[in-house]
Structure 1
Amino acid sequence: MSFYTEFFLALLIRPVRALVALYWHATRRRVRARNQLRAIISRSPYVYLRWQKHIEAVGQTLAGASREMAFWHYKPRISIFLHILAETKAADVASSIASIEAQCYPEWELLIVLAPSAERPADILDQRIRCVASPASTDLECLDAVLADALGSHLLPMTPGGRLSPAALFLLLERLKDDPDASIVYGDQDEIDRAGRRQRPWFKPRWNAELFLAQDYLSSACLISLDCARSTIRPVDGVEGAAIYALLLSISALKHAKIIHLAKVIVHLPGIAVSDNQAARVAAVGRHVHAADGKASAGRFGSVKLCWPLPEKPPRVSIVIPTRDQVSLLRACIESVRRNTDYGNYEVLIVDNGSIEKKTKLYLEEVSRHPNFRILDFPGEFNFSAINNYAVAMSAGDYICLLNNDAEAFMPNWLGELMRYAIRDDVGAAGAKLLYPDGSIQHGGVVIGLGNAAGHAHRNLPDDDPGYFARAHVAHFVSAVTAACLVVSKAKFETVGGLDAEGFKVAFNDVDFCLMLERAGWRNVYVPHSVLIHHESKSRGKDDNPAKRSRYLKELDLLQTRWDTIGFHDPLHHPHLDRASETYVIHL
């Protein structure tokens, strides 16, 4: 859709915000304007209805399924599990069963476990549907009863009232053909309102182990290998209300576990209330991470917050801050670090890149008298990569924190939260959540391929807004994080050669660096519990003169060439989310 088509649609939904976006567009802040409009219209039923018609095209899928299944030589049975509670409405059970009976793939069985006092569904004539006797009513005991009684190769748990898409089982098995040894296949989902209309699609990322600890994005739409489920040791208590989640956590910890994503909407749920079983999920995650000394607690917007351990003697961190004049920004940054850092073992290296103002020099002289503060001189043209590489070579810490001089710490735990992740063997760079001064999000991880390059996820989302299924507020693996505030092991920094000072002097050096860490086998992680204010680009300015623009375009071309970002879909994003938007909106 054109900008003005989006504007007029947004004007009908949120007129004030639409007019703000029009003002931004008129004042040449067009990316921000487009993000604003798409954030508005993404919540309109019109957009999802249009996607269902033109992109999803269920009718075409069903027609193709009939033709393809005719040539299948192996048609495994799928065991579907439905746990009916005393309070479950008969209409919800009936709608779930009807959606199962409507499957275009016929080889299934439905196992119904009735809680005490729950009513047995009436008029069950299909021989593929049977009730399973269970001696008790807890989730875990009911799951065990189903695992013992199921005759299929895979288990599909269902929520009463949830409905399977007519092609759901076919699509899952078609995906499984590419990875027959998969332990779990999971798909996307949406909600249905009381009138049966679909809304709020949840387009999920590729398997993301860190995200799954914070948020259960599999249980409602997944297919589980029964052999794998039966061989997994499950907890005996403490997870009532989250038995499937606890099972999936256990499977995900197996060395041979293979978890794959089907980028199709396969389940329609009667409301996705992620906080309903939060206490049970916290208990399940706490049990899961106990051996690694991790602790789980209730997080924002129904999520689970992990607290990974720090060593008894926390390692030294060298905080590297490049600067050139702009003493007011530098002072705010330095003073915030001194006042608001409860991680005790750190040094600060301020790298002066040719400051000439007297007040700057006086301030640097003053700062140098403080313990653990050093001033390094790096004269010459501004080269962010070279400046940081030089400082790292001069640092005394085992870990490096790259920090912009236009960032301000206001939460004492900011550095410690990053270090909880950075010390892990599997983690490359750990990046903070950065907010604009108005409290909206400036950085929530980096998505590769946005704008054919890379973009900051959730930009301009108010920090008190859950946004797209709370993704901005939970820790998870990302492809990259910004060097405005990131922490990385010095050894890992040196292993990948640091920042590319020849190819990326100013722009995209952090993206390139993080992708190099990924290539070397480490995972980058976004840590929303570490929060700073970022006065973006106030010290360096914008790329708005011919020389800066020319340099930027060269760096953009190198990023696109080296990492093939043109047309690239970040696997931790989703192919049905708009690659032109830093907000998570549907692509049409």
Structure 2
Amino acid sequence: MSRKTSLFWRKALPLVRYRPASALRAIFWYLTRRRVRASNIVRDSSRGLPLAYHYWLIAQQEEITRLADAAGTSAEQWPTITLVIHYSDDTPANLRRRSRRSVEQQLLKPNAIIETPIDDLASALRGVTGDYLFLLRAGDRLAESAIVRLARFLHARPVAVLYGDEDVPSTGDGLPTPWFKGEWNRELFLALDYLSSAVAIRTDLARRTEPILTQSGSPIDALLMAVTTSCDEDDVAHLPAILVHRHTDSSASNPHRAAAIVSALGAGVRCEKGPFDTVHVQWPLPQPFPLISIIVPTRDRAELLRTCIGSVDAHTDYRPFEWIVVDNESAEPETQDFLAELSLRSDVRVIRSAGAFNFSRLNNIGVAAAAGEYVLLLNNDTEAFSPEWLGEMMRYAARDDVGAVGAQLLYADGSLQHAGVVIGMGEAAGHAHRFLPAGDPGYFRLPHAAQEVSAVTAACLLVRKDRYMAVGGLDEEKFAVAYNDVDFCLRLKEAGWCNIYTPHAKLYHHESKSRGSDFSVANRERYMRELKNLQTRWGTRTFLDPLHSPHLDRYSETFQPGF
């Protein structure tokens, strides 16, 4: 049987379970020698099925064959890797055997294998003889190309820590779910352990952590926290390949992880349990609390502005803050009356600005008038309901390394509207995990973990005023309405500050109720011009966001694999 024939049958036969009519039709055409047509039927019928990942793994065989050839000619120059299989006292012996068998199938063998109880990890490190060690939980299996991929990468780029992708068992269909990860994200790792199941660590760096491992209730967490906090950002790298097939999704619950984080980060930082077994890191608030100027552009729709201001006043435990309402030619009597009412308050200033609606200009006017050390850009169609939201944003905004901070924004039904912005999605920019239903963990719990992101929406964006001014504020010329926040955040990153999304600050966002759709007849020409400006300035047609894996679909906001 030829290789092409073998691949067809490996793809067509599993399809019988899910779409039997399509599978039988493909087999008929294949047997009658219409093989291109048969392959197309299999491909098209498999879209959206768990089988897509199965087929993707089959397609990887060609690359694995090339890796095997490389291992035979270049391996002597590559760094050596010692495999450390760790287990707990109650780990069944068959799970340890399962891990060892996967080592026997490696294209390139590790230079040594060490099996150790997890609480003896410190002493096991003394026995590591390879340049790097790779941690493998008993029961998990190495992908057959894991060691050769690691060694080849580390030969070309000898970083301190290298982690890869993995898959976990799915519920119901029995097929695994791949976890395609993004680039190194220190903030995300604090909230969510995405390293420990598929990570290689330089041996000399790991050995330096021995004193703290013996004192920790969670040695793996203590090891990873110690090595990643001692490394430069570019000394932790991601290998976008499946390295490990997990026995179970066992990383979600770890009662000792928060303690390891507090120990590594030092005084002033507190940790709590976050949603879906994430860790909620609480950075210290500055003392005394700085004044925040809340900038709200508005035009008519008094009911939206009333809800926005009233909800923030009633459901915000952070003080002090002031309001700067920038009114853009409101004409409705109800709005005029409400603005006059607001003007009587000592904590509110109403600024009038005439002319066509230009969101960037209105915010820039408001920021210029702000007395606060920090400014919060806030849409008039947002609604606060959780008192800690503004304080949670300030915990990040006050850090020296942070530019813009964005909140988790929800639609009225509780589904997700904003959890950070992914650049390059749809060849422009998209909201990560948009429309995720309330109570859903989402793609490997990412929507519920604080993390560094490329951009956040200006519907609710907190930043120091001097940093806002340092990068020139929002671009009034190129991005009057759309993508001004994306451009602004990318300029903050370019200036050396990171942008943070926190799920612990939650508000409702009744999206674009006041300004209308970008795709209406009146707005489409302006929108297309601003889209072109974004693509030209930032290359978003080909931009690969660090948050997004190259194996994920660039046109999906829900992190679907791009098979």
TM (norm. structure 2) is 0.89
SS of the aligned residue for 2:121 comes to helix
* Structure 2 residue corresponding to 1:414, chosen from 369, 389, 392: 389
Q: Could you tell me how far 1:233 is from its partner in structure 2?
A: 6.1
* Structure 2 residue corresponding to 1:515, chosen from 460, 469, 490: 490
- Name the amino acid aligned to 1:580: Y
SS of the aligned residue for 1:52 comes to helix
SS of the aligned residue for 1:95 comes to helix
Q: Is 1:470 paired with 2:409?
A: no
Q: Could you tell me how far 1:197 is from its partner in structure 2?
A: 6.0
Residue 270 of structure 1 corresponds to: 247
Residue 83 of structure 1 corresponds to: 86
* Structure 2 residue corresponding to 1:62, chosen from 38, 62, 65: 65
Q: Is 1:93 paired with 2:96?
A: yes
* Structure 2 residue corresponding to 1:53, chosen from 55, 58, 71: 58
Residue 148 of structure 2 corresponds to: 170
- Name the amino acid aligned to 1:50: Y
The structure-2 alpha-carbon separation of the partners of 1:370 and 1:223, relative to structure 1 and needing over 3 Å to count, comes to: same
Paired with 1:85 and 1:399, the residues of 2 have a C-alpha distance of 49
Q: Could you tell me how far 1:274 is from its partner in structure 2?
A: 2.9
- Name the amino acid aligned to 2:281: L
Residue 518 of structure 2 corresponds to: 543
Q: Is 1:284 paired with 2:260?
A: yes
Residue 145 of structure 1 corresponds to: 123
List aligned pairs for 1:121-520, cutoff 5 A: 139-140=118-119, 142-180=120-158, 182-192=159-169, 198-232=175-209, 234-235=211-212, 239-240=216-217, 242-256=218-232, 258-277=235-254, 279-291=255-267, 293-520=268-495
- Name the amino acid aligned to 1:251: V
Q: Contact conserved, 1:193 with 1:271, CA < 8 A, in 2?
A: no
**Which deviations, in whole Å up to 9, do the C-alpha atoms of 1:82-131 show, x marking residues without a partner?**
22333222221111101111111134210112x5xxxxxxxxxxxxxxxx
Q: Contact conserved, 2:81 with 2:110, CA < 8 A, in 1?
A: yes
- Name the amino acid aligned to 1:254: S
Q: Could you tell me how far 1:255 is from its partner in structure 2?
A: 4.8
Q: Could you tell me how far 1:566 is from its partner in structure 2?
A: 0.3
SS of the aligned residue for 1:533 comes to strand
Q: Contact conserved, 1:238 with 1:283, CA < 8 A, in 2?
A: no
The structure-2 alpha-carbon separation of the partners of 1:234 and 1:480, relative to structure 1 and needing over 3 Å to count, comes to: farther
Structure 1 runs not aligned, ≥5 long: 1-8, 14-39, 116-138
Q: Could you tell me how far 1:405 is from its partner in structure 2?
A: 0.2
Q: Is 1:577 paired with 2:555?
A: no
Paired with 1:73 and 1:238, the residues of 2 have a C-alpha distance of 38
Q: Could you tell me how far 1:192 is from its partner in structure 2?
A: 4.4
- C-alpha RMSD over aligned residues: 2.1
Q: Could you tell me how far 1:173 is from its partner in structure 2?
A: 1.2
Q: Contact conserved, 2:213 with 2:223, CA < 8 A, in 1?
A: no
Paired with 1:399 and 1:200, the residues of 2 have a C-alpha distance of 42
The structure-2 alpha-carbon separation of the partners of 1:396 and 1:69, relative to structure 1 and needing over 3 Å to count, comes to: farther
Q: Is 1:106 paired with 2:139?
A: no
**Which deviations, in whole Å up to 9, do the C-alpha atoms of 1:469-528 show, x marking residues without a partner?**
111011000000000001001011001000000000000000000000000011000011
**Which deviations, in whole Å up to 9, do the C-alpha atoms of 1:212-271 show, x marking residues without a partner?**
00011001101100011112365256632x312211111111154610000000000111
Residue 25 of structure 1 corresponds to: none
TM (norm. structure 1) is 0.85
Q: Could you tell me how far 1:317 is from its partner in structure 2?
A: 0.5
The structure-2 alpha-carbon separation of the partners of 1:415 and 1:238, relative to structure 1 and needing over 3 Å to count, comes to: farther
Q: Contact conserved, 1:451 with 1:579, CA < 8 A, in 2?
A: yes
Q: Could you tell me how far 1:548 is from its partner in structure 2?
A: 1.2
Q: Contact conserved, 1:481 with 1:510, CA < 8 A, in 2?
A: yes
Paired with 2:264 and 2:344, the residues of 1 have a C-alpha distance of 47
How many matched pairs?
520
Q: Could you tell me how far 1:198 is from its partner in structure 2?
A: 4.8
SS of the aligned residue for 1:266 comes to strand
Paired with 2:257 and 2:110, the residues of 1 have a C-alpha distance of 32
Q: Contact conserved, 1:239 with 1:281, CA < 8 A, in 2?
A: no
Paired with 1:492 and 1:565, the residues of 2 have a C-alpha distance of 24
Paired with 2:364 and 2:166, the residues of 1 have a C-alpha distance of 45
Paired with 1:551 and 1:153, the residues of 2 have a C-alpha distance of 56
Q: Contact conserved, 1:445 with 1:480, CA < 8 A, in 2?
A: yes
Q: Contact conserved, 2:428 with 2:531, CA < 8 A, in 1?
A: yes
Structure 2 runs not aligned, ≥5 long: 1-14, 20-45
SS of the aligned residue for 1:402 comes to strand
Q: Contact conserved, 2:191 with 2:281, CA < 8 A, in 1?
A: yes
SS of the aligned residue for 1:530 comes to strand
